[in-house]
Amino acid sequence: MTRFVAIFRRFPRTTAVLLAAALRSASGWVVAFPLVAALSALGVGSLPSGDRALFAPSGLLLVETLRVGELPLRAAAQTSLLSWVLCALAQALPTALVFAAFALPPTDPGAPFRRALALTPRFIALGALDCGLCALTFVLGILLWPAATSASGDAQFGLAALVIGWALLLSAAISMFVDLARLASIEPDKTLRQAVDEAALGFRRRGLRLAARYVLTSGAGALCVAAAARGTELCRVDAAGELRVLVVFALHQAVLIALTGIQAVWVRALSNTDAGGRYWPLPGTAAEH
């Protein structure tokens, strides 16, 4: 414990990233547990090759498991969904930790953690705002999709790209805006409303500049996930050998850490101006609007 504290004092930001990634990973295991328990009850462990069979090419036993276990798996999925919602709310803590660690000047090593705990309720509210607005965008996209895809002739690709692109852009803009609000809400004396107002101001002033950085960081995240998917495919977990599972586990944990690190880079981008490294929100911006 003492050693951990020492490491944490020396590398508080790295520790914050690792801790946030660990929290996210642990949440994943919590969400997965009911489904795994249901699969175990279905006798998947007694299959000749155990759960390797579920990853085997052709998916014969995967489809069979879904068919035979439809009812227990559906019940387990509902429990997992509830766990997912609770864990999604709990993600406010690691998110707050990353924001507090990377947006605040590195002074007292314990400050980000204390601040993160205090920020969690606000971040839950902002996370809900993010999810709600993105869900709305998604629903609108779903509603527009049939019209876009029913177009004949050469217009179809353009219309579909327009719908997908519009939905992605809107979602990205919403996420950027909410992150700006998260950043603004770090200041203890601001209300949530003031934070949102400041985010709106920041979005208008720096939106385009931040958008480029957002595309860059999200692209890096997407590449990490895609590369891991390809790597996992190459690892062939349907084949015998526990080492394969270990390698895939390590790969996936590395992705979660990388994604958290990318989030930290993004927070740094939010909290700095282009080159000056000044803390944002700029002093006085609240009074400007």
Partner 1 sequence: MKFRGLAGARGLFELLLGLSLWAAAVALVAPRPPAPLPVPSARPAPARAPQQVPLVASYTLVAKLDESQHRIAGSGTIAFTNRSSAALPSLYFHLYLNGFKNERSLFLRSPFARGRSGQGPREHGYIEVKRLAAQELGGMDLWPGRVPHSPSDAADETDIEVPLPVPLEPGASLTLDVAFDAQLPSLIERTGHAGSFHFAGQWFPKLAKLEPDGEFAHFPFHAQAEFYADFGRYDVTLDVPAGFSVGASGQKVSEVSRGPRRELRYVAEPVHDFAWTAWDGFAERRERIAGVDVTLLSPKGYEEIARQTLSTLAFGLPELERRFGAYPYRTLTVVHPPQEAEQAGGMEYPTLITTGGPWFLPYTGTRALEAVTLHELAHQWFYGLVATNEARHPFLDEGLSSYGELRALGVRFGDASLANVSGLELSAEALFRAGAALRAGEESLALPARKFSSFRSLGLLVYLRTATALETLARCFGRAKLDAALGAFAEKQRFAHPGPEALVAELRSELGEPAARAFERVAFERGRVNFSVRELDAARDPSATGPTTYVNRVVVHRTGDVELPVEIRMSFRNGAVFRERWDGTGPTWTYESRGPAPLVRAVVDPEQRVLLDDNLLDNSASLAPRSLTRIEERLAYIAALTLGGIAP
Residues 269-288 that bind partner 1 (CB under 8 A): 274-275
Nearer to partner 1, 70 or 108 (CB): 70
Which 239-268 residues touch partner 1, going by CB under 8 A? 242, 245, 248-249, 252, 255-256, 259-260, 262-263, 265-267
Q: Toward partner 1, which CB reaches closer, 31 or 196?
A: 31
Nearer CB in complex with partner 1: 188/276: 276
Main-chain dihedrals φ then ψ at residue 151, nearest 5 degrees: -65, 140
Cα–Cα distance list, 231 to 13, 237, 248 (Å): 28, 11, 8
- Sole window of 22-30, 100-108, 110-118, 186-194 interacting with partner 1 (rule: CB under 8 A): 22-30
Which position among 12, 16, 27, 113 is part of the footprint of partner 1 (CB under 8 A)?
A: 27
Task: State how far the alpha carbon of 4 is from the alpha carbons of 8, 15, 18, in Å.
Answer: 6, 9, 12
Question: Dmax of the chain from CA atoms?
Answer: 69
Residue from 19, 115, 179, 271 in contact with partner 1 (CB under 8 A)? 179
Site for partner 1 in 181-240 (CB under 8 A): 204-209, 211-223, 225-227, 229-230, 232-233, 237
CB of 10 to partner 1, least distance (A): 26
List the interface residues with partner 1, window 142-171 (CB under 8 A).
149-150, 152-157, 160
Out of 17, 24, 112, 271, name the contact with partner 1 by CB under 8 A.
24
Q: Which of residues 113-132 bind partner 1 (CB under 8 A)?
A: none
Instruction: For partner 1, give the closer residue by CB, 18 or 66.
Output: 66
Q: For partner 1, give the closer residue by CB, 47 or 109.
A: 47
CB of 41 to partner 1, least distance (A): 11
Specify the stretch interacting with partner 1 by CB under 8 A; choose among 8-16, 82-90, 101-109, 117-125.
82-90
Distance of closest approach, residue 107 Cβ to partner 1, in angstroms? 24
CB of residue 193 to partner 1, shortest distance in Å: 24
Report the residue number, 125 or 225, with the smaller CB distance to partner 1.
Answer: 225
Site string for partner 1, 42-81 (x = CB under 8 A): xxxxxxxxxxx-xx-xxxxxxxxxxxxx----------x-
Burial annotation 67-88 (CB, 10 A radius, 16+ → b, else e)? eebeebbeebeeebeebbeebe
